[in-house]
Amino acid sequence: MLTLTQPAALWLLLALIVLLLVRRIPPRRQQLIGTLHFWAGLDSSKQPAFSHRVRRHQHLLLQASFIVLVVLALAKPQVALSRHDVALVIDTSMSMGATAQGRRRIDEALDQARLIAESLPTGSRIALYLAGPDTTGIGTFSAADATTETWSSDVRLSDGSANLDAAIERARAAEPRPSRIYVISDSTQPSASSGDVEWVHVGTPADNAAITALTVVRGEDNNSISILARVTNFGAVDAVADVVIRHRETLMARQTVSLPAGTSGSAVLQLPAVAGAIQAHLERSDALEADNSRFAVVPAPSAPRALLVGNSSPFLEQALAVLPGIDVATQSSSVAADVVICAGCDRVPTEHPRAGVLLLPSGTPSSTGLASVVLTAGDHPLLADVAAAGELVLPLVSSVPLDPPAVLMRAGGHPVLAAYEDGARRVVDLRFDPARSPMAVRPAFPLLVASSVAWLTSTDRVTWTAGDPVGLSITGITGVTGPDGTSIPHLTTRFGVSVDQTSAAGIYRFASPDGDIPVAVNPAVATESDLSSPVSGDATKSSTAGITPVRSLVNLDVALLVAALVVLAGEWRMRSRGQG
Amino acid sequence: VLSPDEARILDGLVVASPAASAIAGAAGLRRARVRGVGMEFHEHRPYQHGDDPRSIDWAVEARLDQLVVRVARADGDLRVHLMIDVSQSMTVGAPTKLASAVKLAAALSYVAVERRDHVGVATFDDRIQKFLLPGAGRPQLFRTLNLLEHITAGGESSIDRALLQYGAAVRGPGLAVVISDFLEPGAGLDGLRFLLHRGLTPAVLQVVAGDELNPQIDDSVEFIDVEHQGRRLVVTAGMVAAYRQRFAAHVQRLRLFCVQNSISWTQLDASVPFASMVSQLERSGIFSPVT
């Protein structure tokens, strides 16, 4: 397809009229001849051959061709040899929000995307992908219709890292397969990237500081909290900034931190205990604003309290003794407990109705003797850190049946571990004899007990990084709310709940019958906050000079000028011969 | 008429002609068709009364006991009659056909005189205009060249009429070189026949212009008959093919006549250089190298 870059030059074709006026058709030539004898009587109506007619006006044709070729060359025509399908992968990680000279890196990326689109032949198709923690396919556009104004409304920056490899693979897997994949990013191109990937760098090195860590520890008296905010200056200039602690938009404290270039500083504050989440904010104007805030959830008032009841079990007591952060009480019904551990109990104790229960029922040893453990529900969070498969245990056969879906481990065909919910409480049922099971002296046993206590007390992890899926082993979640108050899709399983859309940093609230559970999702400062590394390429370029174009748009102006010169030389040579 | 360079091209050439055109009895360099006094042996024949006894071949008599005489081939020279068409039709072309004809006539005169042949010149259009009797020697060459130098174009052409007139005044043997374009309906065949009848051996040099061989007509051209100024004809490029057929048929008719009567025929493009014309005359047998 032929396109004219300077179509206004076609007005110069009016010069053809001038040429025709100057070289109007000459009058009929007269010629003396020896005799008309051979011409007389011939049919004069016979038309001359086309070649004769062309030869008659050859000078005029050559001159007109010269003018047409020159005018076309001035119009700068471009011909597209064929259409191309390309993919644009735009990095939408947190660092693309960094500002330099009043412009964000993402804006530069959109400019580069526009330049690439303009360099493509008309008719080409552009598939646009936004690469954040997840890849979002915006759609497919024609090169002529592609406008960054349209795209910019679809661009949402993440507070996490970009998984560019996944985005490239997704673009590559599209049908039709793109002939080239342009990746517009502020990160450096992997050395092992394949040939169909063209890396377009944006962004310049910039000074930035970020809160890289925020921890909240409750005091021993449970009435105070200790906050540690770690601030890192990634730039080359010393800085001093205030760290502000807020709880529910209320200013709690402020502390000034000195930040020499390339180093980290900490703000340590002792504050009265609060419930829920707190926010630490670095009050400093730097290149990237998103990493100046970090969130943390204030831990529960105290460590889980375990109450050991029933028969004595040295192996169980030994396992509980090595668990950190858990208070173990024995044989006292007056003590409050978060989890009740009962050895020799066939039924769930009725005391402490809200506490979780770890049962070790009495039962009779299995006739099969020692048997290897087989996992029947390995994806259960209770077994996440326990390598119990293959361990030898002596199963105990109990008269209390178990619901098959609740069974997590079997040995010799008998259930040896089950986890289920009984009303508002969780129950873990261990049906093997620790005293006669080799597993009891293996590391798997205390880990299994620790994991059971954690699951029973629901002490899930409450701090995550933006982009990572959040998973909690809490059932009964009715909804999840994001940092901006909007509802976030969540997936509920029989073991808990998970949320994938965590690209924005902030406090996510999981609604449960017992109240909201706050979860802090923080910016991915480890990979995104250091803006000091130089990037190759000129981030301020305003043309596609640094971009390898798809070799399908050919400029014809030089070829047309050469052709015009050839025509001019031919006309001059013919004129010289004619005069000779 | 001839430059020194052009004359140098002609050195070493001789006007080649059939023996019939040579005249016996003259002290020329050519063999005559008739027997007579000469140096070259021709045949033996029985002695007859009245034969010169000096011609008896005594060696034969001694061997065969018969009186035979040696008969020698008579030596002779060549009379070259140059007949140049000076009609208006010869004035077209670049250079004109007349100029080329004059050059050819001068070349033939030069070569003939240099080889002790006789040469004479006549110009004609529809009749004989100028006439120079054949003669030999350098003075004849000067007279010939002088006539050629002052040739002017005449009127309408009538080759037959002119050749009839010339044949009535001159008889053979001799070589009658007719230099014309032969572009008239009869192609001058009657005149050529009359020359043959008069014992002359004609040689046809047909001089044509490049535009007559290959007309260049872009769209249409108004042709003006140079011999009849009032006659004009607009021809178009589409007529060229038919013209070529007619012209070729006319030339073929003339050529066939020449072949049938053992007449040399040569077609010359007036626009080709002089050296090329001489080469063409060599190839056609008008000129031959001196042996």
SS3 of residue A428 by DSSP: strand
A35 vs B contacts (CB less than 8 Å): 89, 183-184, 225, 227
Chain B: closest CA distance from residue A545 (Å)? 53
pLDDT at position A371 is 92
Is the Cβ–Cβ distance between A453 and A306 less than 8 Å?
yes
CB contact under 8 A, B181 and A34: yes
Chain A: closest CA distance from residue B177 (Å)? 21
A52 vs B contacts (CB less than 8 Å): 217-219, 237, 240
pLDDT at position A580 is 46
Residue A170's H or E segment, with its range, is helix A164-172
pLDDT at position A48 is 56
B154 vs A contacts (CB less than 8 Å): none
- Of the candidates B183, B211, B236, the beta carbon closest to that of A37 is on B183
**Residues in CB range of A328: below 8 A, 6 or more apart:** A306, A307, A308, A317, A320, A321
Q: Tell me the one-letter amino acid at A149.
A: E
* pLDDT band at residue B24 under the 50/70/90 scheme: very low
Is the pLDDT reported for residue B271 higher than 60? yes
Chain A: closest CA distance from residue B240 (Å)? 9
B249 touches chain A (CB under 8 A): no
Q: Bigger pLDDT: A95 or B288?
A: A95
pLDDT at position A13 is 83
Residue B6, phi then psi, degrees to nearest 5: -70, -40
pLDDT at position B19 is 47
B213 touches chain A (CB under 8 A): no
Q: Which of A15-29, B121-135, B224-238 has the lowest mean pLDDT?
A: A15-29
CB contact under 8 A, B224 and A38: no
Residue B256's H or E segment, with its range, is helix B240-260
Residue A155's H or E segment, with its range, is none
Enter the tokens of residue A391.
């361990």
pLDDT at position A544 is 47
DSSP string, B146-206: HHHHT----S---HHHHHHHHHHH--SSEEEEEEE---STTTTHHHHHHHHHTTEEEEEEE
- Chunked mean pLDDT (size 10), chain A, 580 residues: 77 81 70 83 62 69 88 83 80 91 88 83 82 88 69 82 90 86 86 77 88 81 83 89 90 90 86 88 90 87 77 82 75 71 82 81 85 85 81 88 86 90 80 89 87 76 79 81 90 81 90 84 88 55 49 76 91 73
d(CA A361, CA A311): 10
Is the Cβ–Cβ distance between A91 and A183 less than 8 Å?
yes
**What rounded mean pLDDT belongs to chain B?**
83
Strand-pairing partners, residue A506, are A521
* Residue labelled with tokens 């500083």: A265
Chain A, chain B: beta-carbon pairs less than 8 Å apart: 103
Enter the tokens of residue A418.
């089950």
- Of the candidates B220, B233, B237, the beta carbon closest to that of A39 is on B233
Q: Bigger pLDDT: A313 or B163?
A: B163
- Of the candidates A33, A40, A56, the beta carbon closest to that of B218 is on A56
* Residue labelled with tokens 């800085």: A239
Strand-pairing partners, residue B225, are A33
d(CA A371, CA A438): 10
* Residue labelled with tokens 């032929």: A2
d(CA A323, CA A415): 25
B226 touches chain A (CB under 8 A): yes
Chain A: closest CA distance from residue B175 (Å)? 27
Q: Which residues of B199-212 are buried (b: 16+ CB within 10 A; e: fewer)?
A: ebbbbbbbbbbebb
- Of the candidates A30, A37, A52, the beta carbon closest to that of B222 is on A30
pLDDT at position B180 is 92
d(CA A346, CA A340): 14
Enter the tokens of residue B176.
């009658």
Residue A312's H or E segment, with its range, is none
CB contact under 8 A, A33 and B97: no
Enter the tokens of residue B37.
């006094």
CB contact under 8 A, A43 and B227: no
**Best CA proximity match to A185, nearest among A533, A545, A469, A550:** A533
CB contact under 8 A, A46 and B223: no
**Best CA proximity match to A554, nearest among A79, A120, A82:** A79
Enumerate long-range contacts of A562-567, CB under 8 Å, 24 or more apart. A563/A69, A564/A65, A564/A66, A564/A69, A564/A70, A564/A73, A567/A62, A567/A65, A567/A66, A567/A69
Q: What ipTM goes with this model?
A: 0.76
Q: Tell me the one-letter amino acid at A567.
A: V
Q: Which of B235, B250, B271 to mutate to test the interface with A (most CBs of A within 10 A)?
A: B235
